[in-house]
Chains A and B, each alone.
Chain A
Amino acid sequence: MLRYIAKRIFLMIPVLLGISFVIFLLMYFTPGDPAQMILGDLATKEEVEALREEMGLNDSFFERYFRYMGDLLKGDLGTSYTTKLPVWDEISARLPVTAKVAFFVIVFAVLIGVPIGILSAVRQYTIIDSITRVMALLGITMPSFWFALLLVLLFSVKLGWLPASGLYGPAYYVLPIISISAASVAIITRTARSSMLEVIRQDYIDTARAKGQKERVVLFKHALLNALIPILTVVGIQFAGSLGGAVVNEQVFAIPGIGKLMVDAIKARNYPLVTGSVLVLSLLQSLVNLFIDLLYAFVDPRIRSQYSRSKKKTKALNGAVTAGAGTAAGKGE
């Protein structure tokens, strides 16, 4: 297992390299001049040119890229153009806010989405199921910023129950969490429903019932655990998505997170800050994916045996069975 984790972490390096190159390329071709932005409209051409030279903006693309990567290897993400602070300091000040919101969002989405999905599957074709499916469709198709604005209009402007912006206490979290999680709740509900529907038709569910097992235990022990892999997958994607996708909603609610930091940085053509934020978010996303993959192994013994196939003991024990196990686990993924 440790070998597997080490391998996966090692494999993140080329992924991050690729991302850094693409984001660097995008920023290179983005119109606008950071030096002009810093100095303002009144600056003379000579002043701008001098600053460009000083910032190294006149060097070729590859010179700049390799300089950046060289610094990165030393653990230096560069300096923000606007605040002159190290990029890492800027990010590390904002990241916990975004991470906190994303965490609450995913917990909320799982707590709401999974039970509703299960209920909907167990009561397939009933009125509960129909309502759930319509709500889920609504949750997925509705743009979250629009939903956020509607919530603000109702609860902050009209009713005055909840604050509309900022993040100064528990009440401030309510509207952002509801609006950001709407899509996640919907997707998790749908996945939980379809995954459960598939599992509750399996023979081993009937075997459990034929043992005289309680329906509740049949559903939660036998069915849900088997239905968990697809649910885990979307939970992982949604969590990573709410980390990176906070960009728009942080604007709506004026949350001082990494999403707002990035939008401001893009507006100011603050290249190091944009690149740094994207890299950090990508790294986080990769780590979440790895964590989810490890959870698969925790849930499903077929995947577990695939990860630890290097162990001699299992190999000797299984003999010819291993080949079959491999394909079964492959399907499970």
Chain B
Amino acid sequence: METKNKLLEVKDLSIHYFTDEGVVRAVNNIDFELARGETMGLVGETGAGKTTTARGIMGLVPNPPGRVVSGEILFEGKDLLNASKLQMRLHRGKDFSMIFQDPMTSLNPILTVGDQIAEVIRLHEKLSHKDANRKAAEILEMVGIPAERMSEYPHQFSGGMKQRVVIAIALACSPKLIIADEPTTALDVTIQAQVLELMRDLQEKLGTAMLLITHDLGVVADTCNKVAIMYAGQIVEMGSLENVYDNTKHPYTKGLFGSLPSLSIKSKRLVPIDGLMPDPVDLPSGCPFHPRCPDCMESCKSRMPVKTEVSPGHYVRCLRCE
């Protein structure tokens, strides 16, 4: 990948929460990069550290108790972790924005939908009140909601419509990067498809890069160029869609695919991955996946695997691949 094409580079990022119960190691030494216009899926179970990663990039890790303990987040070459509060504020909403998980709760219930879209426009573009409202109306139309509904409140919209409004807010200033945190999890399946298609269309139209957080491998296959699989705060496997889907290396990723129902093979039961996600306060020694790993070796229990490039652009963190 050419350097100038790189939009976002995350290097050795670790984010921990310091709580009374101990240090929650939510994100541990993750690296990834994203080019302009590219879409990467970030897949993992609940608690794998996906949302914390997203919040880390946005500079919205709740502090206290959370803190970025190491690493760099380079956005167009500039380290966001060294940026001032003011610089971060100017970035947020303009250069990168975020779509939160639950559209039901991510809109302010007492402001009109139009106001909430116009707010982000007025923050980043020097427009009069009237022009900002006109632009908000255009964006609302773009996500498929009639502009007349600008003056309505969130409770007058359905879940799918609300998510469209949230998308409109995220896209209002044509950011270079959108972080979508499980944007369709809270929606009906039929609405999910619509919302995903809308996001894909707009992304293509505006040339926005996207970090799509999900636990749905199907959604990733539909939407993304790249995929990173997270487990216990680490990226265990990362690569192009073909690499990860057709040439799966990490036992956890294999487990994820194995637990999906298949149309072609008749089976009575789905195959789950045995065991539970480890407690991030007390991660196992060695490879964090070893207690659940079907291919566990003796050395896995004591040695932490390092990131290994098994084929160009395909990275795996597993001792069997080293």
Q: Which residues of A contact B (CB under 8 A)?
A: 125, 202-204, 206-214, 222, 225-226, 299-302, 305, 317-318, 321, 324-325, 328-329, 332
**Quick check: B153 and A301 within 8 Å, CB to CB?**
yes
Cα separation A238 to B218 with both chains bound (whole Å): 56
**Quick check: A212 and B123 within 8 Å, CB to CB?**
yes
**Quick check: A210 and B110 within 8 Å, CB to CB?**
no
Q: Knowing A203-B105, A226-B109, A321-B157, say if A213 contacts B119 (CB, 8 Å).
A: yes
**Quick check: B169 and A321 within 8 Å, CB to CB?**
no
Which chain A residues lie closer than 8 Å to B112 at the CB level? 301
Q: Which of A206, A209, A225 contacts B110 (CB 8 A)?
A: A225
**Quick check: A209 and B92 within 8 Å, CB to CB?**
yes
Contact with A along B151-187 (1 / 0, CB 8 A): 0110111100000001001100000000000000000
Binds A, one of B8-16, B93-101, B271-279: B93-101
Cα separation A211 to B106 with both chains bound (whole Å): 12
Which chain B residues lie closer than 8 Å to A332 at the CB level? 109
**Quick check: A203 and B156 within 8 Å, CB to CB?**
no
Q: Give A324's nearest chain B residue, CB to CB.
A: B155
Question: B109: shortest Cβ distance to chain A, in Å?
Answer: 6
**Quick check: B93 and A301 within 8 Å, CB to CB?**
no
Which parts of B86-132 form the interface with A (CB within 8 Å)? 89-94, 97-98, 100-102, 105-112, 116, 119-120, 123-124
Q: Which of B89, B97, B98 contacts A214 (CB 8 A)?
A: B89
Question: B83: shortest Cβ distance to chain A, in Å?
Answer: 12
Which chain A residues lie closer than 8 Å to B91 at the CB level? 212
**Quick check: A210 and B108 within 8 Å, CB to CB?**
no
Which chain B residues lie closer than 8 Å to A324 at the CB level? 155
**Quick check: A211 and B105 within 8 Å, CB to CB?**
no
**Quick check: A207 and B155 within 8 Å, CB to CB?**
no
**Quick check: B100 and A206 within 8 Å, CB to CB?**
yes
Which chain A residues lie closer than 8 Å to B116 at the CB level? 207
Q: Give B152's nearest chain A residue, CB to CB.
A: A317
Question: A120: shortest Cβ distance to chain B, in Å?
Answer: 15
Q: Give B90's nearest chain A residue, CB to CB.
A: A212
**Quick check: A203 and B153 within 8 Å, CB to CB?**
no
Q: Which of B97, B109, B124 contacts A302 (CB 8 A)?
A: B109
Q: Give A210's nearest chain B residue, CB to CB.
A: B98
Which chain B residues lie closer than 8 Å to A213 at the CB level? 89, 93, 119, 123
**Quick check: A211 and B110 within 8 Å, CB to CB?**
no
Does B60 lie at the interface of the complex (its beta carbon under 8 Å from any beta carbon of A)?
A: yes
Question: B180: shortest Cβ distance to chain A, in Å?
Answer: 12
Does B287 lie at the interface of the complex (its beta carbon under 8 Å from any beta carbon of A)?
A: no
Which chain A residues lie closer than 8 Å to B123 at the CB level? 211-213
Q: Which residues of B contact A (CB under 8 A)?
A: 58, 60, 64, 89-94, 97-98, 100-102, 105-112, 116, 119-120, 123-124, 152-153, 155-158, 166, 169-170
Known: A204-B108, A206-B100, A305-B156. 6 other contacts (CB 8 A): A207-B106, A207-B166, A213-B89, A305-B155, A318-B156, A321-B157
Which chain B residues lie closer than 8 Å to A302 at the CB level? 109-110, 153, 155
**Quick check: A207 and B110 within 8 Å, CB to CB?**
no
Question: A42: shortest Cβ distance to chain B, in Å?
Answer: 69
Cα separation A202 to B110 with both chains bound (whole Å): 13
The 8 lowest CB-CB distance pairs between A and B, nearest first, are: A212-B93, A212-B92, A211-B93, A211-B120, A203-B106, A203-B105, A301-B153, A204-B108
Question: B84: shortest Cβ distance to chain A, in Å?
Answer: 13
Which chain A residues lie closer than 8 Å to B111 at the CB level? 222
Question: A315: shortest Cβ distance to chain B, in Å?
Answer: 12
Which chain A residues lie closer than 8 Å to B97 at the CB level? 210-211
Q: Knowing A210-B58, A300-B109, A318-B156, say if A203 contacts B93 (CB, 8 Å).
A: no
Most chain B beta carbons < 10 A, residue from A204, A211, A317, A318: A211
Q: Which of B152, B155, B157, B169 contacts A211 (CB 8 A)?
A: B169
Which chain A residues lie closer than 8 Å to B158 at the CB level? 321
**Quick check: B60 and A209 within 8 Å, CB to CB?**
yes
Q: Give B91's nearest chain A residue, CB to CB.
A: A212
Q: Give B98's nearest chain A residue, CB to CB.
A: A210
Which chain B residues lie closer than 8 Å to A204 at the CB level? 105-109
Question: B3: shortest Cβ distance to chain A, in Å?
Answer: 27
Q: Which of A206, A225, A300 contacts B106 (CB 8 A)?
A: A206
Which chain B residues lie closer than 8 Å to A329 at the CB level? 155
**Quick check: A208 and B92 within 8 Å, CB to CB?**
no
Q: Give A314's nearest chain B residue, CB to CB.
A: B156
**Quick check: A226 and B110 within 8 Å, CB to CB?**
yes
Which chain A residues lie closer than 8 Å to B100 at the CB level? 203, 206-207, 210
Q: Which of B105, B152, B153, B156 contacts A202 (CB 8 A)?
A: B105
Cα separation A230 to B44 with both chains bound (whole Å): 39
**Quick check: A301 and B58 within 8 Å, CB to CB?**
no
**Quick check: A208 and B109 within 8 Å, CB to CB?**
no
**Quick check: A206 and B124 within 8 Å, CB to CB?**
no
**Quick check: A210 and B155 within 8 Å, CB to CB?**
no
**Quick check: A300 and B110 within 8 Å, CB to CB?**
yes
Q: Knowing A203-B100, A210-B98, A212-B120, say if A325 contacts B155 (CB, 8 Å).
A: yes
Cα separation A206 to B105 with both chains bound (whole Å): 10
Question: B23: shortest Cβ distance to chain A, in Å?
Answer: 17
Cα separation A127 to B155 with both chains bound (whole Å): 38
Cα separation A222 to B116 with both chains bound (whole Å): 10
Which chain A residues lie closer than 8 Å to B119 at the CB level? 208, 211, 213
Most chain A beta carbons < 10 A, residue from B98, B106, B155, B158: B155
**Quick check: A207 and B157 within 8 Å, CB to CB?**
no
Question: B184: shortest Cβ distance to chain A, in Å?
Answer: 16
Question: A212: shortest Cβ distance to chain B, in Å?
Answer: 4
